[in-house]
Amino acid sequence: MFQVLRDRLLRSYVLVFASILSVSAIAVRVVFTHILSQQFTEKLVALGESAAASLELEDGDLVLENDFSVQSSLDGDQALEWFDARGRSIGKQGRYVLTLPLARKKIVQTQAGTPPIRGMTLPLTSQEDHRLVGYVRASQSLEDFEETLRKLDWGLGSGAIVALLLGGMGGAILTRQAMQPVEQSFDRLKQFTADASHELRNPLMAIDANVQVALKYPEEISINGIQKFEAIANATAQMLRLTEDLLFLARTDRDLELDRTIFDLTDLLSGLLQLYQQQAQTKSIQLSLFPGKPIYLRGDVAQLKQLFANLLVNALCYTPEGGKVEMDCARVEKHILVRVKDTGIGIAPENLERVFDRFWQADSSRSYRSGGSGLGLAIARAIAQNHGGSIAVTSQLGVGSCFTVKLPAIDPSS
Ligand SMILES: Nc1ncnc2c1ncn2[C@@H]1O[C@H](COP(=O)(O)OP(=O)(O)O)[C@@H](O)[C@H]1O
Ligand SMILES: [Mg+2]
């Protein structure tokens, strides 16, 4: 699918490039030909004028001078022809004279053949009474002219082909580069959909199994009914949590406006401490918060509460019985740092960055099943980033982990 798209992109690119190239090549050709042909005519005029100087009037008739000196100024591919006032040829010189009849005005004539010849006719007038006394026609073979144009065509043509080849190669690289992020995000989306469906499948299967049994043995509903409904309720709750998490991530992807208020972070954290104290005690985990001093922050209370709850739930979940979970919070220069530190199972170094990926879980067999589906840290990171902050983790397998949330502090003056 992406191959097709890439090819199509490349084709259009090459097409556009080729059109630009040919338009400019044609423009260069036209302008160059025009200039060259203008120069050619100017040369013929100059030649004709110099030839006019070697004429004399004798009784009103044109005669060529005896010490005919034009010879020296004539190139090998040039020629001259003189005519009297009635248009009769009275002398010529050089190989490439025109065989076309004389045009009795100042005009350019081109004669086809091998080689083609171009000539310029100049009417001559006497200096005294401006009477027409004859004509001189200067001509030159077009061989050199055409040779120059042929060379130009070759140069333009091969230049265009080389440019097109290079452009095509560059275009292939560019389209590949341009498509890469698209392909990556498409792959991520595919993975995400697969993961989400997978996570929804388990609770749905649990519900289905329980309902099927209940339908098959309706007489036993009153006996085992409560258990089945409990299982169904659990599965439903799990799906509800998952869909809420997914919805949240989908919303933050679209950069929703935050509901920002100024509040005391220490207050929020101690509220969470109380909320999870019970759970910690049942696992005999020592849960503590340091210190008690208020630290003010501007942000979305509900979201930040979820951020720290996610970290706390993880810490409690991935810490074996008898462990310790500590939270502390401090202002360091322009930032507020909140740490959630545990003495739990830890995270392998190669997985440190992946824990924040959506649906990523170290233990897919869920021996430390949190009831979560691997979205907790992805959500935590999204919330931190929404607030212009970040989240980082350090950990050591078997020793413990420490998650640090960095949030921008409010300016004390405001
Ligand atoms: N405090 C922690 N100690 C050890 N591993 C952790 C900790 N927090 C998170 N992890 C690892 O990161 C994974 C992702 O965490 P999370 O996004 O909260 O998903 P969940 O908790 O639903 O599995 C967890 O499955 C776990 O493997
Ligand atoms: Mg979690």
Q: Mean pLDDT over residues 33-49, rounded?
A: 93
Closest residue CA from atom 18 of ligand 1: 376
Cα 139 from Cα 99, distance rounded (Å): 11
Whether 372 is in the pocket of ligand 1, judged by its Cβ within 6 Å, is yes
- Ligand nearest to C-alpha 356: 1
60 pLDDT higher than 70: no
Whether 315 is in the pocket of ligand 1, judged by its Cβ within 6 Å, is yes
Provide the pLDDT for residue 309: 95
113 pLDDT higher than 90: no
Q: For residue 62, list its beta bridge partners.
A: 57
Name all contacts of 67-75 with Cβ < 8 Å and 24+ positions apart.
Answer: 68/93, 73/47, 74/47, 75/140
Give the mutation target among 314, 359, 395, 396 for probing the ligand 1 site: most ligand atoms within 8 A of CB. 314
Q: Which residues contact 324 (CB under 8 A, 6 or more apart)?
A: 285, 286, 287, 288, 342, 343
Q: Mean pLDDT over residues 71-84, rounded?
A: 81
Closest residue CA from atom 24 of ligand 1: 361
Provide the pLDDT for residue 364: 64
User: Quick one: fold of 2-151?
Assistant: Beta-Lactamase (3.30.450)
Q: Which atom of ligand 1 is nearest to the CA of 400?
A: 3
CA–centroid distance, 394 to ligand 2, in Å, is: 16
Asked if residues 61 and 84 have their Cβ atoms less than 8 Å apart, the reply is yes
Radius of gyration of the chain (CA): 47
Asked if residues 299 and 407 have their Cβ atoms less than 8 Å apart, the reply is yes
Closest residue CA from atom 27 of ligand 1: 362
Whether 269 is in the pocket of ligand 1, judged by its Cβ within 6 Å, is no
Q: Mean pLDDT over residues 81-87, rounded?
A: 88
Cα 281 from Cα 322, distance rounded (Å): 9
Q: Of 227-241, 267-281, 313-327, which gets the smallest average pLDDT?
A: 227-241
Q: Which atom of ligand 1 is nearest to the CA of 363?
A: 27
CA–centroid distance, 230 to ligand 2, in Å, is: 23
Asked if residues 48 and 122 have their Cβ atoms less than 8 Å apart, the reply is yes
Q: Mean pLDDT over residues 120-148, rounded?
A: 89
103 pLDDT higher than 90: no
- What is the CATH class of 261-408? alpha beta
CA–centroid distance, 394 to ligand 1, in Å, is: 13
Q: What is the mean pLDDT of the chain?
A: 88
173 pLDDT higher than 90: yes
Strand 132-141 to 117-125 pairing = antiparallel
CA–centroid distance, 361 to ligand 1, in Å, is: 6
Provide the pLDDT for residue 174: 92
**Comparison of pLDDT for 64 and 101, the residue scoring more:** 101
- The domain segmentation of the chain, as residue ranges, is 2-151, 261-408
CA–centroid distance, 335 to ligand 2, in Å, is: 25
**DSSP E strand stretches across 333-410:** 335-342, 390-396, 400-408
**N residues, the chain:** 414
Q: Of 151-165, 226-240, 335-349, which gets the smallest average pLDDT?
A: 226-240
- Ligand nearest to C-alpha 355: 1
Whether 356 is in the pocket of ligand 1, judged by its Cβ within 6 Å, is no
Whether 78 is in the pocket of ligand 1, judged by its Cβ within 6 Å, is no
Per-residue b/e over 359-374, b at no fewer than 16 CB within 10 Å?
Answer: bbbeeeeeeeeeebbb
67 pLDDT higher than 60: no
Cα 150 from Cα 155, distance rounded (Å): 9
Whether 377 is in the pocket of ligand 1, judged by its Cβ within 6 Å, is yes
Q: Which atom of ligand 1 is nearest to the CA of 355?
A: 12
- Ligand nearest to C-alpha 372: 1
Return the number of other C-beta atoms located less than 10 Å from residue 321's C-beta. Answer: 8
Asked if residues 318 and 355 have their Cβ atoms less than 8 Å apart, the reply is no
Whether 363 is in the pocket of ligand 1, judged by its Cβ within 6 Å, is yes
**Report field, pTM of the whole predicted structure over 0.85:** no
CA–centroid distance, 362 to ligand 1, in Å, is: 7
- Ligand nearest to C-alpha 399: 1
- Ligand nearest to C-alpha 369: 1
Closest to 328 in 3D by CA, of 319, 320, 337: 337
Q: Which tokens belong to 261?
A: 């208020």
Q: Mean pLDDT over residues 251-269, rounded?
A: 84
Cα 43 from Cα 144, distance rounded (Å): 14
